[in-house]
């Protein structure tokens, strides 16, 4: 009898691992684009510099205030031994496996049936890709929020099981890793607790150990975020407006959102929720999704109420009111719809199985197609156009810089405004780029000043706001910029050619050496 029990336990454990592995495979298909994506070059660059200050030693962004200390300490130490590419892949695989494990646990808590997690994972990723409003994602490159979402999913599993103390601990841990992801999840859970009403929720007295523990866990993330604005009141308003209306308006400013497509998905979720019995455990998950939607509605209300008051709008909208909904509504549709289909097995065993197969085939096909296109280099996300269309030449130029004995380790470069991967491939500092946006108010204001000084044309036409390239600005201006920012080199496109000493060139890019004349920066 004991042998039979042990054999049954091993079989169950094996099937659980197989299911997690298949969800992991779906995530791998979805995230198959080349290393690095735009966020990895940004976040892992910070991580590498945190553990090795000599890497990009004089880079403005890398030396700005740090905020994701838990991520740097918990994961970034691997940068001491791994190359940037290996670090990215280790981080991706670890994040995806942990997400797959947490996703399977959540699905089992809701549905109590094997294999559904594969279908719901594929459907959720499909919906996030096609219906996200504020540009949030769940499975992608490695950064702090991927690990935070693992704890959010575990918190949702605990919430579904009515284990609220454990849920608060999970949301507190998520806040420690990423203050916005975990913090908004905790707020949405609080709203869900209110929506469930008496009789279907524990009392505050019963939850207080979990609430207290979650608060203690959250403190490192909250304090590290708050310290960025301590003692810098004169520049906070300016920094907030740069943050919301210039650099991150596609995430923060509702006027830039594709609202109609998200409204369609929201309608589908409402229909799923309406068809769901309040006695089903998934109702608690729907209450959490409703909490996230209420936060988004609050964000829209803030944007509407502060029209004509940009300082007030920026001060409030900078908190990413919309990001949680981008993930939670697709999650609610995928898992909620499965919860509606699963009971059909009582009357017809084929219905849920056919639904699983159809969902997996359709959604995985789309997810895999997206991943294949990324891996084939057909649509590398968010990269500067020459990086994409002349990727080989770009990498060759950067790697020549990394290995050349003529380029000092502490050299500073002027680089194209929208390039993302210069430091990744070269290991050298740059004056500024558009992607490497700092977090503290003083550095945000300085970042914007550098963008205006180096890349702005001064023209009034929005389509003529920025120079097309550094080469377009001419030798005198680049020499003056080099002196002003102590940059000894320029990496730019070959056309138009410049009368400056050439250190390296290929078919697309050229590295010029700058001298430092005592003249001021010419007006653009």
pTM of the model: 0.91
Does residue 349 sit in the same domain as residue 466?
Answer: no
Instruction: Decide: 192 and 284 in contact? Cβ < 8 Å.
Output: yes
Does residue 33 sit in the same domain as residue 121?
Answer: yes
Does residue 239 sit in the same domain as residue 325?
Answer: yes
Which residues lie closer than 8 Å to 173 by C-beta, 6 or more apart?
151, 182, 214, 217, 218
Domain assignment present for 522: no
Which residues lie closer than 8 Å to 506 by C-beta, 6 or more apart?
393, 396, 397
Q: Among 346, 375, 404, which residue terminates a domain?
A: 375
Does residue 395 sit in the same domain as residue 369?
Answer: no
Domain assignment present for 335: yes
Structure confidence at residue 283 (pLDDT)? 95
Domain assignment present for 521: no
Does residue 336 sit in the same domain as residue 424?
Answer: no
Give the span between the Cα atoms of 419 and 400, in whole angstroms: 17
The domain in which residue 481 lies consists of 385-434+456-513
Domain assignment present for 51: yes
Does residue 351 sit in the same domain as residue 461?
Answer: no
Distances (CA, A) of 219 to 70, 210, 317, 364: 11, 14, 22, 39
Cis peptide before 496 (omega within 30 of 0): yes
Q: Quote the DSSP letter at residue 510.
A: E
Does residue 58 sit in the same domain as residue 77?
Answer: yes
Domain assignment present for 1: no
Domain assignment present for 471: yes
- The phi and psi torsions of 84 (rounded to 5 degrees) equal -55, -40
Structure confidence at residue 11 (pLDDT)? 82
Does residue 472 sit in the same domain as residue 495?
Answer: yes
Does residue 364 sit in the same domain as residue 506?
Answer: no
Q: In the chain, which stretches have pLDDT less than 70?
A: 1-8, 231-232, 343-389, 516-524
Tally of domains in the chain: 2
Give the span between the Cα atoms of 174 and 220, in whole angstroms: 11
Structure confidence at residue 376 (pLDDT)? 46
Structure confidence at residue 30 (pLDDT)? 87
Give per-residue pLDDT as tens, 139-189: 989 999 999 999 999 999 999 999 999 999 999 999 999 999 999 999 999
Domain assignment present for 288: yes
Does residue 371 sit in the same domain as residue 407?
Answer: no
Does residue 209 sit in the same domain as residue 64?
Answer: yes
Domain assignment present for 445: no
Q: List the one residue out of 148, 151, 37, 28 whose CA is nearest residue 88.
A: 37
Q: Among 352, 375, 398, which residue terminates a domain?
A: 375
Q: Among 345, 375, 405, which residue terminates a domain?
A: 375
Structure confidence at residue 2 (pLDDT)? 53
Give per-residue pLDDT as tens, 312-351: 999 999 999 999 999 999 999 999 999 998 765 444 555 5
Does residue 333 sit in the same domain as residue 369?
Answer: yes
Structure confidence at residue 285 (pLDDT)? 97
Give the span between the Cα atoms of 374 and 369, in whole angstroms: 9
């Amino acid at each position: 009898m004991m042998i039979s029990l042990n054999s049954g336990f091993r079989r169950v454990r094996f099937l659980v691992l197989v299911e997690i592995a298949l969800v992991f495979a779906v995530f791998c298909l979805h995230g198959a684009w080349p290393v690095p994506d735009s966020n990895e070059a940004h976040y892992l660059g910070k991580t590498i510099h945190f553990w090795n200050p000599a890497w990009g030693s004089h880079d403005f962004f890398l030396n700005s205030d740090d905020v994701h200390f838990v991520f740097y300490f918990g994961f970034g130490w691997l940068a001491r031994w791994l190359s940037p590419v290996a670090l990215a892949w280790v981080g991706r695989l670890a994040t995806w496996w942990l997400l797959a494990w947490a996703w399977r646990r959540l699905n089992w808590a809701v549905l109590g049936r094997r294999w559904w997690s594969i279908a719901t994972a594929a459907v959720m990723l499909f919906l996030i890709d096609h219906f996200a409003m504020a540009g949030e994602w769940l499975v992608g490159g490695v950064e702090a929020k991927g690990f935070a979402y693992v704890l959010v999913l575990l918190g949702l599993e605990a919430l579904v099981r009515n284990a609220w103390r454990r849920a608060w601990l999970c949301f507190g841990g998520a806040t420690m890793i990423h203050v916005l992801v975990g913090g908004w999840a905790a707020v949405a859970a609080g709203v869900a607790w209110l929506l469930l009403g008496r009789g279907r929720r524990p009392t505050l007295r019963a939850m207080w150990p979990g609430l207290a523990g979650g608060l203690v866990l959250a403190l490192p993330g909250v304090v590290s975020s708050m310290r960025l604005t301590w003692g810098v009141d004169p520049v906070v308003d300016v920094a907030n407006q740069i943050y919301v209306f210039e650099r991150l308006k596609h995430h923060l400013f509702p006027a830039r959102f594709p609202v109609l497509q998200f409204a369609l998905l929201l309608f589908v979720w409402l229909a799923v929720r309406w068809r769901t019995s309040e006695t089903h455990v998934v109702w608690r998950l729907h209450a959490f999704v409703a909490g996230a939607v209420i936060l988004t509605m609050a964000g829209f209300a803030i944007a509407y109420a502060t029209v004509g008051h940009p300082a007030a709008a920026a001060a409030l909208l900078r908190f990413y009111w919309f990001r949680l909904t981008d993930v939670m509504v697709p999650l609610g549709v995928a898992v909620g719809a499965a919860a509606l289909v699963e009971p059909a097995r009582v009357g017809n065993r084929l219905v849920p199985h056919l639904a699983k197969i159809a969902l997996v085939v359709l959604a995985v096909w789309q997810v895999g197609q997206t991943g294949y296109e990324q891996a084939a280099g057909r649509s590398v996300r968010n990269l500067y156009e020459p990086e994409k269309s002349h990727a080989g030449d770009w990498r060759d130029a950067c790697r020549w810089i990394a290995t050349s004995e003529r380029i000092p380790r502490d050299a500073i470069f002027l680089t194209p405004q929208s390039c993302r991967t210069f430091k990744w491939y070269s290991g050298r500092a740059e004056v500024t780029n558009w992607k490497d946006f700092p977090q503290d108010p003083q550095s945000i204001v300085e970042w914007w000043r550098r963008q205006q000084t180096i890349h702005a044309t001064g023209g009034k036409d929005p389509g003529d706001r920025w120079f097309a390239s550094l080469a377009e600005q001419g030798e005198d201006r680049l020499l003056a910029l080099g002196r002003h920012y102590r940059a000894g080199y320029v990496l730019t496109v070959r056309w138009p050619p410049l009368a400056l000493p050439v250190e390296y060139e290929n078919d697309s890019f050229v590295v010029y050496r700058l001298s430092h004349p005592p003249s001021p920066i010419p007006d653009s």
